[in-house]
């Protein structure tokens, strides 16, 4: 099993190689088709699974299994049922199907797992934004905290994680049309990064199971510069400031949003909550 594990750096290296090869071979259309295929983001799913295993999680309880895309758990919250990108099944609480009876659009729907199993399932969703991250921010952010609200309203003790990758520089679409790999700077990049950090800080670190249902127990905001020969992953405020990606004196911080502590912190919260 161990030989199938992938590191975060290996994954972003592969994402860069896949996208740039697609641009070289088929331009913008090939790049867009690749992204729609979800091949790049599935690498991040495998990173999450790999890190869970490295931190002691039994691979047999991870859904979908390592190396597979099929087998996502479709969990029911208060408003809707939705496939979760990566889940860890509870060891002691088994699925028990039930018919949903609370008011709303799910009334009468069949939940194959049941509330008890759902609440003790650790769930991590994975998203990425490689282009137009400034343009689409509001819609993407609203969708992000709505997912946590949906599940926590029904299962307030549920441990949820959000793994969200953004790129420092976008691929230049005009150059890509000519099969050329070039990057363009995002105007006001430091303020842009600061907005993301502040926004994700606001929904990170939920520790009160009676409130803050819109928050996640743990959020990882992965900031990557794909324009460098080896993609650079930012883990500290000092790194961001050194590269002009965070205004001096900003209250925004990546220290509690970096990947290094993401999985260990989630597992610690889970063990404390369900000990």
Render pLDDT for 193-243 as a digit per residue (tens, 0 to 9).
Answer: 999 999 999 999 999 999 999 999 999 999 999 999 999 999 999 999 999
* Cis status of the peptide bond prior to 64, with omega within 30 of 0: yes
Angle between helices 137-154 and 189-201 in degrees, nearest 10 = 10
**Confidence (pLDDT) at 105:** 82
Question: Tens of pLDDT along the chain (275 residues)?
Answer: 455 899 999 999 999 999 999 999 999 999 999 999 999 999 999 999 999 999 999 999 999 999 999 999 999 999 999 999 999 999 989 999 999 887 678 888 999 999 999 999 999 999 998 876 667 788 889 999 999 999 999 999 999 999 999 999 989 999 999 999 999 877 789 999 999 999 999 999 999 999 999 999 999 999 999 999 999 999 999 999 999 999 988 999 999 999 999 999 999 999 999 98
pTM for this structure? 0.94
Asked if 46 contacts 17 with a C-beta cutoff of 8 angstroms, the reply is: no
**Confidence (pLDDT) at 134:** 66
What stretch of H or E contains 167?
Answer: strand 160-167
Q: How far apart are CA 144 and CA 53, in angstroms?
A: 25
């Amino acid at each position: 099993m161990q030989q199938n594990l992938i590191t975060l750096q290996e994954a972003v290296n592969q994402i860069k190689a896949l996208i740039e090869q697609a641009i070289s071979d088929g331009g913008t259309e090939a790049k867009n088709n690749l992204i729609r295929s979800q091949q790049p983001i599935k690498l991040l799913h495998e990173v999450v699974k790999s890190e869970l295993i490295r931190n002691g999680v039994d691979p047999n309880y991870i859904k979908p299994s390592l190396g597979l895309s099929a087998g996502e758990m479709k969990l029911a919250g208060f408003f809707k049922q939705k496939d979760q990108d990566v889940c860890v099944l509870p060891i002691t609480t088994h699925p028990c199907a039930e018919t949903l009876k609370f008011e709303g659009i799910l009334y009468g729907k069949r939940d194959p797992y049941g509330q008890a199993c759902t609440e003790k399932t650790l769930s991590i969703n994975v998203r990425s934004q490689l282009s137009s991250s400034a343009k689409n921010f509001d819609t993407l952010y609203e969708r992000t905290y709505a997912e946590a609200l949906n599940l926590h309203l029904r299962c307030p003790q549920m441990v949820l994680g959000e793994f969200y990758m953004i790129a420092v520089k976008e691929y230049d679409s005009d150059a890509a049309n000519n099969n050329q790999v070039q990057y363009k700077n995002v105007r006001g990049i430091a303020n842009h990064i600061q907005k993301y950090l502040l926004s994700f800080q606001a929904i990170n670190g939920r520790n009160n199971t009676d409130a803050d249902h819109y928050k996640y127990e743990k959020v990882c905001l992965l900031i990557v510069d794909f324009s460098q020969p080896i993609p650079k992953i930012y883990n500290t405020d000092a790194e961001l400031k050194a590269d002009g990606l965070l205004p001096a004196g900003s209250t925004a911080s990546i220290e509690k949003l970096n990947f290094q502590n993401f999985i260990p912190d989630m597992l610690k919260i889970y063990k404390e909550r369900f000990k």
